Amino acid sequence: MSAKKKNVTERDYAPNIFDVARLAGVSHQTVSRVVNDLPNVRASTKDRVEKAIAELGYRPSALARALVTRRSRTLGLLAVGQPDEGSAYVTRDFTDAARAAQYQVTVESRTELSEQYLLAAFERFLSQNVEAIVVISGDRSVAATAAGLDVKVPILVVDADPPPGVASVALDQYAGGVLATQHLIDLGHTRIAHLAGPAWASDATERRRGFTDTMTRAGLDPSLIVQADWSAAAGFRTASHLLDTASWTGLFCANDHLALGAVAALETRGMGVPWSVSVVGFDDLPDAEFYRPALTTIRQDFAALGRRALEDALVLIDGGEPSGHRLPVSLIRRSSTRERPPAPR
């Protein structure tokens, strides 16, 4: 059987701007103006061009579009943090949102960041003609250094406590600290401790501030605070220290990893959770539901934060002022907290 002959109207190559112009009966310059959404094109002409584009399946070149609009449609994203921390989730959701908006993202990712590396990363971004740079970091020194650089493109930091005058977006860490602490107070706990995150972390500082303010407003002692890093090992160690030095029935941990270690320390001492102590975490990591007991925690919507960061970056590119949003967080109640039983008479 002979092979099917190809119809002479079928193309062996992708349609180009001249094919669209011929089919629509216009110049290729007019097609370019329609593709790049430039003004001074009649509605009827634009309709013909768009129908020709759809019929041919034409996909305009990103490079050609950048030359016409003088915009690269490229963003630089610097993400600092461990791969299991919030920065990784925000990076994922930011790049997804950028792709949907037809932007490319050049990503630089580091677990730790020196000023020298930050400068080098920004130079690489600028060599690719990025339209804006977004910095995701919980380290306030990174945000301050980035904000102090004169790079001639807008900078947006994803940071809960940014330097003054810097465009920023974040989840409301302070409100999360308030929610976690108030939940324990509402359950009848009056002796509440806090395992705080590291001093350099903006998120930790805001969560700690929420704890302290809420305890003070309730007339309770806010001094049971121990500083730690973000790890489960630190949670085990610091909770053990608190058990040796004070008595308490409620514990607010600055992240879920700390809470995991704290629960292990309590169980080692024969103090069941939540029967002896109620524990609240922060982040609602994917595994938090499957801790034993399942962890009451503060949920952060990292997808919403990634989308908002992209939206605010585009506002900056267009010369606008982003809103400086603090996106809401929510309490997810599970079995690691319970109402404090009344004291025996």
Tens of pLDDT along 182-211?
999 999 999 999 999 999 889 999 999 999
pLDDT digits (tens, 9 = 90+) for 221-242: 999 999 999 999 999 999 999 9
Please say whether the beta carbons of 86 and 283 come within 8 A.
yes
Q: How far apart are CA 311 and CA 169, in angstroms?
A: 10
Q: What is the pTM of this model?
A: 0.77
Quick one: DSSP state of residue 283? B
- Residues with Cβ < 8 Å from 215, sequence gap 6 or more? 181, 185, 192, 221, 222
Q: For the chain, which domains are there? A: 17-69 (1.10.260.40), 74-171+302-326 (3.40.50.2300), 173-301 (3.40.50.2300)
pLDDT at 3 over 50: no
| Ramachandran class of 165: left when φ > 0, alpha when ψ lies in -120 to 50, beta otherwise | left
Q: Where would I find the beta strands (DSSP E) of the chain?
A: 74-80, 104-110, 132-136, 155-158, 168-171, 192-196, 225-227, 250-253, 278-280, 297-299, 326-327, 330-332
Q: How confident is the model at residue 180 (pLDDT cuts 50, 70, 90)?
A: very high
The pLDDT value recorded for residue 13 is 57
The pLDDT value recorded for residue 162 is 84
The pLDDT value recorded for residue 296 is 98
Q: How confident is the model at residue 249 (pLDDT cuts 50, 70, 90)?
A: very high
* H-type alpha helices, 109-158: 115-127, 140-147
The pLDDT value recorded for residue 61 is 58
Please say whether the beta carbons of 29 and 18 come within 8 A.
no
**How many alpha carbons fall within 13 Å on the CB side of residue 170?**
24
The pLDDT value recorded for residue 102 is 87
Q: How confident is the model at residue 266 (pLDDT cuts 50, 70, 90)?
A: very high
